[in-house]
Amino acid sequence: MVDITVGILAPRAETREALRTLAEATGMASVQLEVPEYCVLRGDRPSRRFVEANPDVIVVDMHRPQAALQALQVLNWALPQTWLFVTSTISDPQLIIDAVRAGAREFLHMPSGDALGKALRRYAEERDRSKQDRVSSQVYCVTSAKGGSGTTSVAINLAAVLSQLPSTRVALIDLNSPIGDAAAYLSLKPQYTFADAVAAASRLDPVLLENFMTSANGIGVLPAPREFLPNSRPPVEAVGRILEVAANVFRYIVVDLPPSLDKEHFALVSEMSTSIVVVLTPDLAALWRTSRLLTFLEETGARDKVRLLVNRTRKSDEISDAEMEKALKQQIYWKLPNSHSASVASNNSGKPVASLNHSELARSYKEFTYRLTCTQMPDKRRGIFGLFSSGS
């Protein structure tokens, strides 16, 4: 038996009685409270009763549609984790759309025990899946202190290699603001972006999140906003909610994390991360900026998660590995070789280097990913590839 606590909001006594009978007859739910008054304000008496009870599901009767829609908005704000069901004798498409926009997860037309039972089972399945998947999910942030270091390319290729593992779901979330490059690099024309997920954060669930994503090369991509909106920062709570929901769906989550975010955003994402890949190029400007970024990460308590990746390396680089490690007080975790031709081919095709060809750069991306995520390299020639690897 599944024990789901249910609250009922319906102005008519006969409706409350019918809904209580239907809910308890499913054998999955117990009715925790019944409220006859619609919530009209945050913190009013009806909403306080629901907050205090904190039920898993609230069934709202649409007897008075406009008042019910307002109540949905209040409850959605006050109890973002609670699933809101609506029931109505009116089969109006616009009413259904308005209810969903207000926060409803299920619209039950003249509910029967069977319809309500199916809706409760969907809730129970989602709750169980969330508990199971959250334990095994891993979040990898890719960031850099200097623009043009190749952060987005590293994030895309990390996700691409992981997507080739069997039975694995991978998400790529572009947090760059006001404009990100992940969609452009993958030749995507997304219908939705990260901004849509932020707007729906209070009612976000795995199904809605995946609807906002665009599939590319086996990766679920949540692109950065399309519009140039300077000085726009999503609420920290919304970012946390998006990552939390993603962890219920995807085994691996790769975040393209710009250093321009506020300290609170950066600290939150860093805290939720398994590892933070800091990308730099072997030049003095990058070293100076990276040193400051590492100091910031140390202040947020995330320094031990840092994996230093040096991009576009050549044998002729003037700054040695030892000099970089001494300046940054951090060991180099991996080095990617410079390969202009492979990068150009990738950009022109809209496909990641790691899945496009067998260049030295592609091999290095794969070896880096397997090491970072502690996954086994599927190719039996691992030792041969190791000869070409530039990791330390």
Read off the pLDDT of residues 113-133 as tens digits, 9 standing for 90 and up: 789 999 999 898 887 766 654
What's the number of CA atoms in the CB half-sphere (13 Å) around residue 298? 9
- Locate tokens 């949540």: which residue? 222
On whether both 199 and 155 belong to a single domain, the answer is yes
3-state secondary structure the chain: CCCEEEEEECCCHHHHHHHHHHHHHCCCEEEEEEECCCCCCCCCHHHHHHHHHCCCEEEEECCCHHHHHHHHHHHHHHCCCCEEEEEECCCCHHHHHHHHHHCEEEEEECCCHHHHHHHHHHHHHHHHHHHHHHHHCEEEEEEECCCCCCHHHHHHHHHHHHHCCCCCCEEEEECCCCCCCHHHHCCCCCCCCHHHHHHCHHHCCHHHHHHHCEEECCEEEECCCCCCCCCCCCCHHHHHHHHHHHHCCCCEEEEECCCCCCHHHHHHHHHHCCEEEEEECCCHHHHHHHHHHHHHHHHCCCHHHEEEEEEEECCCCCCCHHHHHHHHCCCEEEEEECCHHHHHHHHHHCCCHHHHCCCHHHHHHHHHHHHHHCCCCCCCCHHHHHHHCCCC
Q: How many residues appear in the chain?
A: 392
On whether both 263 and 306 belong to a single domain, the answer is yes
Q: In this predicted structure, what is the pLDDT of residue 283?
A: 95
Question: How many whole angstroms separate alpha carbon 31 and alpha carbon 44?
Answer: 21
Q: In this predicted structure, what is the pLDDT of residue 264?
A: 87
Biggest distance spanned by C-alpha atoms of the chain: 82
On whether both 151 and 48 belong to a single domain, the answer is no
On whether both 119 and 157 belong to a single domain, the answer is no
Q: What is the pLDDT of residues 293-351, one digit of tens each?
A: 999 999 888 889 999 999 999 999 999 999 999 999 999 999 999 987 888 788 778 89
Q: In this predicted structure, what is the pLDDT of residue 1?
A: 55
Q: Are 365 and 158 in contact (CB under 8 A)?
A: yes
Domain of residue 273, residue span: 137-388
377 pLDDT band (50/70/90 cuts)? low
87, 114, 132 - which closes a domain? 132
On whether both 91 and 144 belong to a single domain, the answer is no
Q: Determine what percent of the chain is predicted with pLDDT higher than 70.
A: 92
Rg (CA), the chain: 25
132, 162, 182 - which closes a domain? 132
On whether both 298 and 372 belong to a single domain, the answer is yes
On whether both 180 and 101 belong to a single domain, the answer is no
Pairing of the two strands 170-174 and 252-256: parallel
392 pLDDT band (50/70/90 cuts)? very low
Is pLDDT at 389 greater than 60 in this prediction?
no
Q: Are 35 and 78 in contact (CB under 8 A)?
A: no
pTM listed for this prediction:
0.66
Q: In this predicted structure, what is the pLDDT of residue 157?
A: 96
On whether both 83 and 28 belong to a single domain, the answer is yes
Q: In this predicted structure, what is the pLDDT of residue 380?
A: 45
Q: In this predicted structure, what is the pLDDT of residue 206?
A: 85
132, 149, 176 - which closes a domain? 132
The total of structural domains in the chain comes to 2
Mean pLDDT of 38-59: 90
Q: In this predicted structure, what is the pLDDT of residue 386?
A: 41
Mean of pLDDT over the chain: 88
Per-residue burial over 266-289, b if 16 or more Cβ lie within 10 Å, else e, is bbbbbebbebbbbbbbbeeebbeb
| 74-83, 131-140, 213-222 — most confident range | 213-222
On whether both 231 and 377 belong to a single domain, the answer is yes
On whether both 158 and 122 belong to a single domain, the answer is no
On whether both 244 and 335 belong to a single domain, the answer is yes
On whether both 225 and 311 belong to a single domain, the answer is yes
CATH number for the domain that contains residue 98: 3.40.50.2300
Q: In this predicted structure, what is the pLDDT of residue 231?
A: 58
Nearest alpha-carbon partner for 226 in 216, 244, 212: 212
- Locate tokens 């040695």: which residue? 320
Question: How many whole angstroms separate alpha carbon 76 and alpha carbon 79?
Answer: 5
CA 50 to chain centre: 28
